[in-house]
């Protein structure tokens, strides 16, 4: 009896681990000359930055839609001047892109989570947030739901931003270009912290960010066709998922309490009128 329990437990943990993905299998280190490392048999990835270079990685697969989770622990201590970017992007001048960027800060001062959406090469859709926890103490889950209806950014399961498909109102939506997942840690002390006022303190280098538990329910795009994954009960409901009433309430809560910049309210920047998507509910 007890033996069976142990076996069940072992099998269960195996499936959990297997579904969490493996950095050796799913990603390739693209730059940084040894500063990016895959550890623990592919269960952990670290990026580092020092005065000579940052580092980065890229998914091996290209995806056209997905529900993608990554757990990230950001650079602790004095991370001012550093930026950890985690994003989906296609290539080329008319590329689409869905961005999370984490702007570092002095010890004890809050990180900024910067988000943006690019369609056909144009972005200018920034929203910035503080987080309701210290993102350097533990791993937290940063998720992107991207399907033909909507894009939802979430943090630990709480939606913080939605970019809906409003093609019917003449706004372009990323749905024709497959994207890779990218991440990088780099120096951006000309703008990242308090608009560039606080510089990177190189005496604190190397700066390190860590990644684990990558999980993608997604459509993998390969030589012109895509195959979409379903969950254990055979459902690919994520492909048509959108925010429910609770999700909309959560976004309102985050925007009310943690949003520090919204392009949709920046009349100085758009004196001729806010972007169309800002006025469509």
Ligand X SMILES: *[C@@H]1O[C@H](CO)[C@@H](O)[C@H](O)[C@H]1NC(C)=O
Q: Please pick, from the candidates 42, 110, 206, 275, the single residue that binds ligand X as defined by CB under 6 A.
A: 110
By CB under 6 A, residue 103 contacts ligand X: yes
Task: Considering the candidates 101, 162, 167, 241, report the single residue annotated as catalytic.
Answer: 101
In whole angstroms, how close is the CB of 155 to ligand X at the nearest point? 16
Stretch that binds ligand X, among 21-29, 172-180, 191-199, 242-250 (CB under 6 A): 191-199
* Nearer of residues 72 and 145 to ligand X, judged by Cβ: 72
Please enumerate in sequence order all residues whose Cβ is within 8 A of that of 220, keeping only pairs 6 or more positions apart, or say none: 61, 62, 63, 226, 227, 228, 229
> What SS3 class is residue 16?
helix
By CB under 6 A, residue 105 contacts ligand X: yes
By CB under 6 A, residue 199 contacts ligand X: no
Tell me, yes or no, if 249 is annotated catalytic: no
Of residues 40, 42, 38, 46, the one with CA closest to residue 21: 42
* Residue 160, both tokens: 């913080």
Q: Please pick, from the candidates 26, 50, 109, 156, the single residue that binds ligand X as defined by CB under 6 A.
A: 109
> What SS3 class is residue 242?
coil
Q: Are 207 and 75 in contact (CB under 8 A)?
A: yes
Task: Give the span between the Cα atoms of 134 and 52, in whole angstroms.
Answer: 28
By CB under 6 A, residue 194 contacts ligand X: yes
Residue nearest ligand X, CB atom distance: 109
Task: Give the span between the Cα atoms of 9 and 61, in whole angstroms.
Answer: 31
The site map against ligand X for 146-185 (x = CB under 6 A) is ----------------------------------------
Of residues 117, 111, 130, the one with CA closest to residue 259: 130
Tell me, yes or no, if 97 is annotated catalytic: yes
In whole angstroms, how close is the CB of 254 to ligand X at the nearest point? 16
> What SS3 class is residue 26?
helix
Residues that bind ligand X (CB under 6 A): 103, 105, 109-110, 112, 192-194
Positions annotated as catalytic residues are 97, 101
């Amino acid at each position: 009896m007890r033996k069976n329990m142990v076996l069940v437990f072992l099998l269960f943990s195996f499936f959990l681990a297997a579904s969490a993905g493996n950095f050796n299998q799913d990603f390739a280190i693209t730059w940084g000359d040894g500063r990016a490392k895959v550890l623990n048999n592919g269960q952990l990835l670290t990026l580092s930055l020092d005065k000579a270079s940052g580092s980065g990685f890229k998914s091996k697969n290209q995806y056209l839609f997905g529900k993608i989770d990554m757990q990230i622990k950001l650079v602790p201590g004095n991370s001012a001047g550093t930026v950890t970017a985690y994003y989906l992007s296609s290539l080329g001048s008319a590329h689409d892109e869905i961005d999370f960027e984490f702007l570092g800060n002095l010890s004890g001062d809050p990180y900024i989570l910067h988000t943006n959406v690019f369609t056909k090469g144009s972005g200018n859709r920034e929203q910035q947030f503080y987080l309701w926890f210290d993102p350097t103490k533990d791993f937290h889950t940063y998720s992107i739901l991207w399907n033909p209806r909507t894009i939802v950014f979430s943090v630990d399961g709480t939606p913080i931003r939605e970019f809906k498909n409003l093609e019917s109102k003449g706004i372009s939506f990323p749905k024709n270009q497959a994207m890779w997942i990218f991440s990088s840690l780099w120096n951006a002390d000309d703008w990242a912290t308090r608009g560039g006022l606080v510089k990177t303190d190189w005496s604190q280098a190397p700066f390190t960010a860590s990644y684990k538990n990558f999980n993608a329910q997604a459509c993998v795009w390969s030589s012109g066709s895509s195959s979409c994954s379903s969950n254990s009960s055979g459902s690919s409901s994520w492909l048509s998922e959108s925010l429910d009433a609770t999700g909309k309430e959560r976004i309102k809560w985050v925007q009310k309490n943690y949003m520090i910049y919204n392009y949709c309210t920046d009349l100085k920047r758009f004196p001729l009128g806010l972007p169309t998507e800002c006025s469509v509910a």
